[in-house]
Amino acid sequence: MPLATIAGTDVHVDNEGFLTDYEEWTEDLARQLAANIGIELTDTHWKALRFMRDDFKAKGESPTLRRVTNEAGIPTKDLFTLFPKKPAKKMAYIAGVPKPRGCV
Amino acid sequence: MTATMQAPVPVFEEEGNGRKLAIICSKGSLDMAYPGLVLANAALAEGIETHLFFTFWGFDMINKKTMAHLKFTPVGNPATHMPTLLMGLPGMTAFATHMMKRQIEGIDIPEVPEFLQMISDAGGHLWACRMSADMMHIEESDLYDKVEGIISAGDFMELSQGAQIIFI
């Protein structure tokens, strides 16, 4: 995995730019990652991102949109507004976890 | 470590750009309901404009009375690897349906009504076929609320213009 810099911090990323080391993520980094894809983080964004991180830590894999909706209580519609077009991948990118691997 | 490079930024917007998908759902059995639902959901998560058109037995997926009770029958299905004669015994469809539902739930996949709700919430469009509705004497009030309308084959041709079409 290549070493790269984001906002002046050295981190490990994959070829697409997803962080590959869970522990390297910080909130400042998340703000920068969000800005990279045109998203300014609000409280609801943070709620979703914290769930992504907590659930990944607990389960060992990134949650699907359905899990974020059912477990974190953020309606699917809202996820598509907060992280337009591709909520699952965008949330994973900002939260510093891998893209979800499930089909649903 | 050597000098580092600026991290790449994933390209999220470009891929789904202008892509459109229309899925024709013509089957009413549990096992044939899921392929369309899974593909629609995946397409929407990629930012692809997605339409589902329900026709013939596919109406069972959006009929309020049947949508939560789709069945899987192992009769004549070689993929069950069981003798056809046995599969026709009384209770076998109920048993096979129960087993399949458990497997689906086991991998955290929603049942048909919740799946349709998810698809609709994700911006997917649900349409019902006019001819099937007329044949089966079904009206819009009999159908799942998120179905946007009962439309003709011609209407479907118009709205699926430029779309990739999947027939299930």
* pLDDT by residue, tens only, chain A of 104 residues: 577 788 778 888 898 889 999 999 999 999 999 999 999 999 999 999 999 999 999 999 999 999 999 999 999 999 999 999 899 999 999 999 998 887 77
Q: Tell me the residue length of chain B.
A: 168
Domain ranges of chain A: 3-36, 43-95
The pLDDT, as a whole number, for residue A78 is 95
Gap between the Cα atoms of A3 and A45, Å rounded: 27
pLDDT, position B81: 83
**Looking at the complex, does the CB of residue A67 fall below 8 Å from at least one CB of chain B?**
yes
Q: Provide the pLDDT confidence category of residue B15 given band limits of 50, 70 and 90.
A: low
Q: Is A103 a catalytic residue?
A: yes
CA B139, chain centre distance (Å): 20
Please indicate whether, in this complex, the C-beta atoms of A104 and B109 are within 8 angstroms of each other. yes
CA within 13 Å, CB half, B64: 10
User: pTM for the whole thing?
Assistant: 0.84
**Percentage above 70 pLDDT, chain B:** 95
- Cross-chain Cβ contact B108/A104 below 8 Å: yes
**B121: contact with A, CB 8 A cutoff:** yes
The answer to whether B121 contacts A80, with C-beta atoms less than 8 Å apart, is: yes
CA angle B122, A88, A60 (to 5 degrees): 135
Tell which CATH classification among 3.40.50.2000, 3.40.1260.10, 3.40.718.10, 3.90.320.10 matches the domain B20-167. 3.40.1260.10
Question: Phi and psi at residue A98, in whole multiples of 5°?
Answer: -65, 160
Eight-class DSSP state of A102 = S
A3 versus B126: the higher-pLDDT residue is: B126
The full set of domain ranges for chain B reads 20-167
Asked if pLDDT for residue B106 goes beyond 90, the answer is no
- At residue A5, what are phi and psi to the nearest 5 degrees? -115, 140
Contacts 24+ apart (CB under 8 A), A86-89: A86/B12, A86/B16, A86/B45, A86/B46, A86/B47, A87/B45, A88/A62, A88/A64, A88/B45, A89/B10, A89/B12, A89/B45
B3 pLDDT band (50/70/90 cuts)? low
pLDDT tens digits, residue range B51-61? 999 999 999 99
With a cut of 50, say whether residue B1 has pLDDT above it. Answer: no
pLDDT higher than 60, residue B80: yes
Q: Can you tell me the distance from the alpha carbon of A41 to that of A45, in angstroms, rounded to the nearest whole number?
A: 5
Q: How confident is the model at residue B4 (pLDDT cuts 50, 70, 90)?
A: low
Q: Phi first, then psi: what are they for A15, rounded to 5°?
A: -60, -25
Residues 6+ apart with CB under 8 A from B52: B22, B23, B25, B36, B40, B119, B124, B125, B126, B127
Over residues B97-119, mean pLDDT: 90
Report the pLDDT averaged over residues B131-142.
Answer: 93
Which residues in chain B are closer than 8 Å to A84, comparing Cβ atoms? 47
Res B66 pLDDT > 60: yes
pLDDT band at B79 (very low <50, low <70, confident <90, very high): confident
Question: How high is the pLDDT of residue B82?
Answer: 79
| CB contact B109 to A (< 8 Å) | yes
Find, in chain B, the residue whose alpha carbon is nearest to that of A66. B118
